[in-house]
């Protein structure tokens, strides 16, 4: 007898969601176009040959398929699916697979591009990739999710491999879905191949420290920014938009350094307490109640209050395009630590720079996740696994060095940290392209 399909409540436990929600519509601002603007702005500083830039800007391969999946009631449903490999110049394509109703080719291409630059900024030997399935995982049973992931893996299996394209979890997916991916791929090859995917359960070759890696990277780069600006984190204030994995973990780690959070938002609403919110207790509350609303000692506030609060640090850890030219002038934080991908548009960047707001760009700030994914891949390949302390130490070294590289590029080129991050990344990709040459 097929398992009964059970209704599921919306949850922020597994991933961040935006307070400014996307309904059943496309994203109003093209995130891929925004990436192109960011790349062009950095390229102007570098004076790179246009033909080389044309080669590294566009995705090398974009695959779109329709997946037939058997539902619990016996019917078949077609799900649109994507996999984009932006670049493999510096190594295998690397990037997550997201399950979300608003997945689009534009979004996946942008995210794949960001992965290329993110990997280059932290100087790990990966290119950029991304995948997605247009579905609503909150309305699907576990069996339906498993069949969807296995079908996705099987239909696109020729794209993947430890030396070709290594996926990971993303919005709407997690360790269990990566276990299904690994098993499906391994069954096709008739041997266990843990290095084909990262973000796996620990017992299947996952890395200790991976769950906290992205949030820890946010904390580490924020700490470096505070040191650069002379800000004492023990007396600093902050707000966080998005309280999923990235938002909650970065908030907890910053809270441990003494940062006082006065505003917190998730997909259900926003709360505030000028005296500070107990982040560890809030995390436990959200795990039980699936919302930040009603947390003792706080009151509900408007979603935009989280972005406009007068704090030292703002952590946008929800979805893209949250700070635009329409509202950037209202942001009063001293530091913006981009836990999400693309939360600030290029037009907003100009306004924030004029207002002397220090932005830690996403391709640096949230690169802790891909860095520890790289560590997991390395451990899978050598068959030797590190302690969590060793993983965290290696991550700290990588993130601190990457911040210093970007800060130096910012000073040398008299530009923002975002443009500097792209300068560092593009230079590393172009250097490899020139060394390898272009086969034709």
Q: What is the CATH number of the domain that holds 136?
A: 3.40.50.10860
Domain end marker among 183, 202, 221: 202
- Do residues 275 and 346 share a domain? yes
3-state secondary structure the chain: CCCCCCCCCCCCCCCCCCCCCCCCCCCCCCHHHHHHHHHHHHHHHHCCCHHHHHHHHCCCEEEEEEEEEECCCCCEEEEEEEEEEEECCCCCEEEEEEEECCCCHHHHHHHHHHHHHHHHHCCCCCCEEEEEEECCHHHCCHHHHHHHHHHHHHHCHHHCECCCEEEEECCCCCHHHHHHHHHHHHHHHCCCCHHHCCCCCHHHCCCCCHHHHHHHHHHHHHHHHHHHHCCCHHHCEEEEECCCHHHHHHHHHHHHCCCEEEEEEECCEEEECCCCCCHHHHHHHHHHHCCCCCCCCCEEECHHHHHHCCCCEEEECCCCCCECCCCHHHCCCCEEECCCCCCECHHHHHHHHHCCCEEECHHHHCCHHHHHHHHHHHHHHHCCCCCHHHHHHHHHHHHHHHHHHHHHHHHHHCCCHHHHHHHHHHHHHHHHHHHHCCCC
Do 190 and 218 belong together in one domain? Answer: no
Q: Are 240 and 18 contacting, i.e. CB atoms less than 8 angstroms apart?
A: no
Q: How many CB atoms lie within 10 A of CB 275?
A: 8
Averaged confidence pLDDT in the chain: 92
pLDDT for 439: 85
Q: Residue 355 pLDDT more than 90?
A: yes
**Looking at per-residue confidence, does 6 or 420 come out higher?**
420
- Sign of torsion, CA 17 22 26 30? negative
Residues 65/154, Cβ–Cβ less than 8 Å? no
Confidence of residue 11 (pLDDT cuts 50, 70, 90): very low
Instruction: Evaluate whether residue 254 is within a structural domain.
Output: yes
Classify residue 2: in a domain, yes or no.
no
CA–CA distance, 267 with 318 (Å, rounded to integer)? 9
Least confident of 30-44, 264-278, 293-307, 420-434: 30-44
Are both 401 and 277 inside the same structural domain?
Answer: yes
Residue 18 confidence (pLDDT) above 70: no
Q: How many domains are there within the chain?
A: 2
pLDDT for 323-350, tens place per residue? 999 999 999 999 999 999 999 999 999 9
Structure tokens at 291: 């919302």
Residues 6+ apart with CB under 8 A from 149: 97, 173, 177, 180, 181, 184
Residue 33 in domain: no
d(CA 205, CA 346): 39
C-alpha to C-alpha distances, 366 to 12, 141, 220, 233, 381, nearest whole angstrom:
18, 30, 10, 19, 24
Is the pLDDT at 2 greater than 80? The verdict is: no
Instruction: Give the confidence band of 29 by pLDDT, cuts at 50, 70, 90.
Output: low
Instruction: Inform me whether the pLDDT recorded for 152 exceeds 60.
Output: yes
Can you give the C-alpha Rg of the chain in angstroms? Answer: 21
> 126 lies in a domain?
yes
346 and 402 share a domain?
yes
pLDDT at 265 over 50: yes
Q: Is 45 in the same domain as 87? A: no
Say if residue 66 is in the same domain as residue 173. Answer: yes
Which domain CATH number covers 398?
3.40.50.720
Residues 46 and 71 in one domain: no
**Banded pLDDT at 4 (limits 50, 70, 90):** very low
pLDDT tens figures, 179-219: 999 999 999 999 999 999 999 999 999 999 999 999 999 99
Beta-carbon-side half-sphere exposure of residue 228 (alpha carbons within 13 Å): 20
Higher pLDDT, 9 or 292: 292
Q: Is residue 159 part of a domain?
A: yes
Which residue segment(s) compose the domain that 118 sits in? Answer: 59-202
> What's the CA gap between 81 and 155, in Å, rounded?
10
Instruction: Please indicate, yes or no, if residue 239 is contained in any of the structural domains.
Output: yes
Answer yes or no: do 164 and 216 share one domain. Answer: no
Quick one: 212 and 340 in the same domain? yes
Which of the residue ranges 30-44, 295-309, 329-343 would you say has the lowest mean pLDDT?
A: 30-44
Phi/psi for 391 (5° steps) reads: -60, -45
Token pair listed for 72:
């619990």
Task: Give me the percent of the chain exceeding a pLDDT of 70.
Answer: 93
Last residue of a domain, one of 170, 202, 234: 202
Catalytic machinery residues: 130
Do residues 184 and 294 share a domain?
A: no
4 in any annotated domain: no
The predicted-structure confidence for 49-106, as pLDDT tens digits, reads as follows 888 998 999 999 999 999 999 999 999 999 999 999 999 999 999 999 999 999 999 9
* Boundary residue ending a domain (148, 168, 202): 202
Report the interhelical angle of 388-413 vs 105-121 (nearest 10°): 90
Question: Tens digit of pLDDT for each residue in 374-424?
Answer: 999 999 999 999 999 999 999 999 999 999 999 999 999 999 999 999 999
Residue 186 belongs to a domain: yes
Q: Are residues 320 and 394 in the same domain?
A: yes
Q: Are residues 141 and 228 in the same domain?
A: no
């Amino acid at each position: 007898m097929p398992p009964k399909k059970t209704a599921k409540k919306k949850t922020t436990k597994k991933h961040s969601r935006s307070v400014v929600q996307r309904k059943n519509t496309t994203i109003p601002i093209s995130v891929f176009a925004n990436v192109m603007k960011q790349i062009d702005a950095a390229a102007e500083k570098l004076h790179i040959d246009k033909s080389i830039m044309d080669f590294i800007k566009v995705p090398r391969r974009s695959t779109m398929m329709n997946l037939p999946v058997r539902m619990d009631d016996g019917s078949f449903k077609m799900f649109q699916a994507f996999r984009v490999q932006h670049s493999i110049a510096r190594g295998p394509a690397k990037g997550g697979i997201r399950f979300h109703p608003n997945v689009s080719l534009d979004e996946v291409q942008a995210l794949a591009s960001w992965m290329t630059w993110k990997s280059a900024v932290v100087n790990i030997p990966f290119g950029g990739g991304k995948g997605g399935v247009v579905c609503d995982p909150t309305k699907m049973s576990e069996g339906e999710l498993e069949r969807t992931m296995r079908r996705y893996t099987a239909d696109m299996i020729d794209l993947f491999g430890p030396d070709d394209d290594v996926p990971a979890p993303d919005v709407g997916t997690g360790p269990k879905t990566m276990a299904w991916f690994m098993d499906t791929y391994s069954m096709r090859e008739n041997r266990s191949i843990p290095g084909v995917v990262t973000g796996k359960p620990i017992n299947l070759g996952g890395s200790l420290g991976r769950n906290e890696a992205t949030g820890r990277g946010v904390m580490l780069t924020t700490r470096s920014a505070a040191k650069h600006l002379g800000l004492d984190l023990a007396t600093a204030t902050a707000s966080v938009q998005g309280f999923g994995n990235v938002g909650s973990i970065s908030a907890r780690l910053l809270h441990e350094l003494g940062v006082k959070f006065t505003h917190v938002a998730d997909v259900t609403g926003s709360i505030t307490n000028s005296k500070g919110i107990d982040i560890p207790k809030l995390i436990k509350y959200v795990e039980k109640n699936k919302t930040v609303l009603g947390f003792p000692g706080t009151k509900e506030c408007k979603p935009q209050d989280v972005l406009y609060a007068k704090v030292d640090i703002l952590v946008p850890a929800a979805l893209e395009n949250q700070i635009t030219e329409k509202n950037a002038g209202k942001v009063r934080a001293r530091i913006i630590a981009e836990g999400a991908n693309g939360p600030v548009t290029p037009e907003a960047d100009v306004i924030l720079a004029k207002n002397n707001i220090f932005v830690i760009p996403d391709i640096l700030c949230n690169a802790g996740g891909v860095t520890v994914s790289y560590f997991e891949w390395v451990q899978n390949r050598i068959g030797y696994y590190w302690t969590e302390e060793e993983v965290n130490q290696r991550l700290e070294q990588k993130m601190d060095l990457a911040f210093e590289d970007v800060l130096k590029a910012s000073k040398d080129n008299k530009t923002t940290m975002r443009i500097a991050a792209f300068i560092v990344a593009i230079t590393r990709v172009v250097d490899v392209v020139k060394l390898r040459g272009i086969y034709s």
